[in-house]
């Protein structure tokens, strides 16, 4: 790939070092020979790993300000960069994407979530407006997506929906970079710990998990930020809070350390449709780190876990089932270590970024 082909990623929401955007997509494109830049809020202009960073003043920390003012700033900078391909990551940038197409540019919309479904679970939205807003958002995505050069979807299910709007749609799943999580830690040196890494919402099963650890002799390694922040106050009221090691937001190295000491990774999200159709990165990170997954018994997840024999599935609404799975993992080191090894092999063969990277690079070649 000739190095004069300029690629510009755009985000008005995500942080600069977002794993999917920066460490997977941008880094892969730079290694493939593209001239890569990223426009992001709250940063200064700089260069990291051969990727040019263009910072946009964040302004007020509100959704309305971002949608009406930050988006305009991102678009203005995008025009200045004058790239061959623009690759954006937030639905609020759809109008900007359409404008860039009108300027003769190739434009990709990278949809990380099934937004209409996700809106139905937003705790900060009044219940009465969720359904009409979900309907409206789907219509908006359809209108703009039809006019873009290509769509990248984070799961096959999201891809299926967008293929109805734009035939040039592919899935690029958010599978882990194997090298980041590989470790040579002996199972015998692991602690009696389970871990949960990611954003901490009630909808992601944290309350049921707190109840499930009441009896087992176990420590919960809890890493992530609370939404809303008041949720932490509620959790500290549980008698099991003294079994929690709390980390807050952690970087890639700390994640690796947490996974290294844990004997199981928890992904017991509650049965919301948007979750049931997702492929959560944490599940595959647990697998890549060689620890069994204790996951919700959603059909999609259950199919993967049972096929590769890499964990246990439970009803996420029943703390007693979660507790039983935890006790099974902690009480059978030989079987648990084997499940962990099965997970590593599955990631090496199927669920890894190298496989997904090829799809993305093929799409870029096709567009150019």
Whether 111 contacts 172, CB under 8 Å: no
Neighbour-count burial for 126-155, b at 16+ CB within 10 Å, e otherwise: eeeeeeebbeebbebbeebbeebbbbbbbb
- Per-residue DSSP letter, 270: -
Which pLDDT belongs to residue 2?
45
Q: What is the pLDDT of residue 154?
A: 96
Gap between the Cα atoms of 365 and 361, Å rounded? 6
Helix %, strand %, coil % of the chain (to 5): 50, 20, 35
Q: Which of 79, 80, 11 is nearest to 39 (CA)?
A: 11
Cβ atoms 326, 240 nearer than 8 A: no
Give the predicted TM-score (pTM) of the model: 0.89
Query: Are the C-beta atoms of 184 and 143 separated by less than 8 Å?
Result: no
Tokens of 170: 């592919």
**Strand locations in 50-179, DSSP E?**
51-56, 85-88, 106-111, 150-153, 169-171
Residue 53 pairs in a beta bridge with: 38, 46
Residues paired with residue 8 on neighbouring β-strands, in sequence order: 37, 86
* Regions of the chain where pLDDT drops below 50: 1-2
State pLDDT tens for residues 173-193. 999 998 888 777 899 999 999
Among 263, 258, 331, which Cα is nearest to 291's? 263
| pLDDT for 4 | 67
Tens digits of residue pLDDT in 60-74 = 776 767 777 899 999
**Backbone φ and ψ of 109, nearest 5°:** -100, 120
Residues in the chain: 368
Q: For residue 173, what are its two tokens?
A: 């799943």
Q: What is the DSSP letter of 23?
A: I
Peptide bond into 213 cis (omega under 30): no
Nearest to 335 by CA among 305, 293, 292: 292
Burial 26-60 (b: 16+ CB within 10 A, else e): bbbbbebebbbbbbbbebeeeeeeebbbbbbeeee
Give me the chain's average pLDDT, please: 94
Angle between helices 127-145 and 94-102 (to 10 degrees): 10
Residue 277: closest CA among 94, 113, 126, 97: 113
User: How far is the C-alpha of 318 from the C-alpha of 218, rounded, in Å?
Assistant: 18
């Amino acid at each position: 790939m000739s190095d004069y082909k300029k690629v510009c990623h755009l985000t008005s929401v995500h942080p600069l070092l977002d794993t999917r955007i920066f460490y997977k997509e941008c880094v892969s494109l730079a290694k493939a020979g593209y001239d890569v830049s990223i426009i992001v809020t709250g940063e200064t202009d700089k260069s990291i790993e051969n990727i040019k960073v263009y910072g946009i003043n964040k302004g007020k920390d509100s959704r309305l300000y971002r949608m009406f003012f930050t988006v305009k700033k991102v678009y203005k900078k995008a025009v200045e960069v004058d790239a061959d391909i623009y690759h954006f990551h937030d639905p609020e940038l759809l109008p900007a994407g359409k404008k860039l197409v009108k300027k003769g540019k190739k434009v990709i919309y990278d949809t990380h979530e099934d937004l209409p479904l996700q809106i139905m679970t937003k705790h900060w939205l009044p219940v009465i407006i969720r359904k009409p807003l979900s309907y409206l958002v789907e219509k908006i995505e359809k209108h703009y997506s039809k006019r873009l050069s290509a769509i990248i979807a984070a799961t096959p299910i999201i891809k299926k929906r967008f293929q109805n709007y734009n035939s040039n749609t592919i899935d690029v799943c958010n599978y882990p970079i194997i090298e980041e999580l590989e470790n040579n830690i002996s199972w015998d040196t692991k602690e009696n710990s389970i871990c949960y890494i990611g954003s901490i919402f009630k909808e992601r099963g944290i309350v049921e998990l707190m109840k499930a650890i009441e009896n087992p002799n176990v420590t919960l390694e809890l890493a992530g930020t609370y939404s809303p922040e008041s949720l932490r106050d509620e959790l500290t009221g549980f008698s099991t809070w003294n079994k929690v090691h709390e980390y807050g937001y952690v970087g890639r190295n700390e994640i690796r350390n947490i996974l290294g000491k844990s004997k199981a990774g928890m992904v017991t999200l509650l049965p919301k449709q948007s979750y049931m159709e997702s492929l959560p990165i944490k599940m595959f990170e647990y697998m890549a780190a060689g620890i069994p997954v204790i996951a919700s018994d959603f059909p999609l997840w259950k199919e993967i876990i049972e096929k590769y024999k890499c964990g246990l599935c439970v009803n996420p609404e029943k703390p007693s089932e979660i507790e039983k799975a935890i006790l099974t993992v902690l009480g059978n080191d030989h079987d648990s270590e084997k499940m962990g090894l099965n997970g590593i092999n599955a990631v090496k063969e199927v669920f890894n970024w190298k496989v997904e990277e090829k799809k993305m690079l093929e799409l870029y070649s096709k567009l150019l």
